[in-house]
A and B are shown apart, each in its own frame.
Chain A
Amino acid sequence: MQSINSANATNPTELDAWFDQRFEKKLAEREACHVPSMTIIATKGTLDMAYPPFILASTAAALGWDVSIFFTFYGLTLLKRELDLKVTPLGNPAMPMRLPNGPDWLRGKELKIPTSLMANLPGFQDAASSLMKKGMREKGVASIDELRAMCVEADVKLIACQMTVDLFDWKRDEFMDGIADWVGAASFLPIAQRSDVNLFV
């Protein structure tokens, strides 16, 4: 396209063409220096549901994005100094149940017992949790501690919901170091408003 000199553009058609050219150029400039951003709202505190926010946040940070996670309700458990996360088959019918150990005929087979029944067995939740952690180690999946540390290292902002802390009578010293802020919804929403991606987990 022929370049248009604004000084020579006297009629509306030429001015329009000049503006379109400038506008395209400015948009491209803005696009080039735009840092993508993501906000995540983490509301669950179980071992399985701890993964999506930390995996997505650490990966986005590796891609050079600005990332904030707002931890609220049970999600705040993920910021405790000592993590002791569990997974439960209760209300979780899609959870596959396989024995990693035992005789050949049983090992690796999916157990066809409804999770609603398994959930009632004493000690089952602990067993299921340690089996899942074991499986993750064997498959080279990072632990939540590891992913969380990588998020901190990559400057992911970990934001705690102050209302939840009050609600459950938690103390701030029960939580990890490096929490960016202790705030409410009104402080988080403006960050979410400006972000390109917002996820609720």
Chain B
Amino acid sequence: MQSANATLDARELNCPLPILKTKKALTGLNPGKVLTMLASDPGSVKDMESFCQQTGNELLESSANGGEFHFLIRKA
């Protein structure tokens, strides 16, 4: 599994905050670095796919664990 360079805890936040905070966290990273994002909003699964597709960042991993969602994103 890819190791992350930064972690963002967006649990308990609702749309569109997980996306907005992910964007902010990625801005602080250098290209190629990997961000781990944790969310509890079920909408974030589809939203993260769409966000990565639009922004060109790579969604390395998307997994669900109970009511929690984990994402690994590599900054473009």
Contact = CB atoms under 8 A, between A and B. Distances in A.
Contact of B13 (A59, A63, A140): A140
Nearest to A138: B12
Contact of A140 (B12, B22, B55): B12
B14 A63 contact: no
A84 B22 CA distance: 29
A59 B20 contact: yes
B16 interface: yes
B19 interface: yes
B51 A58 contact: no
Given A64-B54, A64-B55, A140 B23 contact: no
Nearest to A58: B20
Interface residues of B, number: 15
A104 B34 CA distance: 46
A141 interface: yes
Nearest to B40: A140
A58 B14 CA distance: 14
A49 interface: no
Contacts of B19: 59, 62
Given A63-B51, A63-B54, A64-B54, A139 B14 contact: yes
Which of A58, A59, A150 has its CB near the most chain B CB atoms (within 10 A)?
A59
Contact of A142 (B17, B54, B55): B17
B60 interface: no
A48 B12 CA distance: 21
B6 interface: no
Nearest to A57: B16
Interface in A29-73: 55, 58-59, 62-64
> Which 8 A-B pairs give the minimum distances between C-beta atoms?
A62-B23, A140-B14, A59-B16, A63-B54, A140-B13, A141-B14, A140-B12, A142-B17
22 contacts: A55-B15, A55-B16, A58-B16, A58-B20, A59-B16, A59-B20, A62-B19, A62-B22, A62-B23, A62-B51, A62-B55, A63-B55, A64-B54, A139-B14, A140-B13, A140-B17, A141-B15, A142-B14, A142-B16, A142-B17, A150-B20, A154-B23
Interface of A: 55, 58-59, 62-64, 139-142, 150, 154
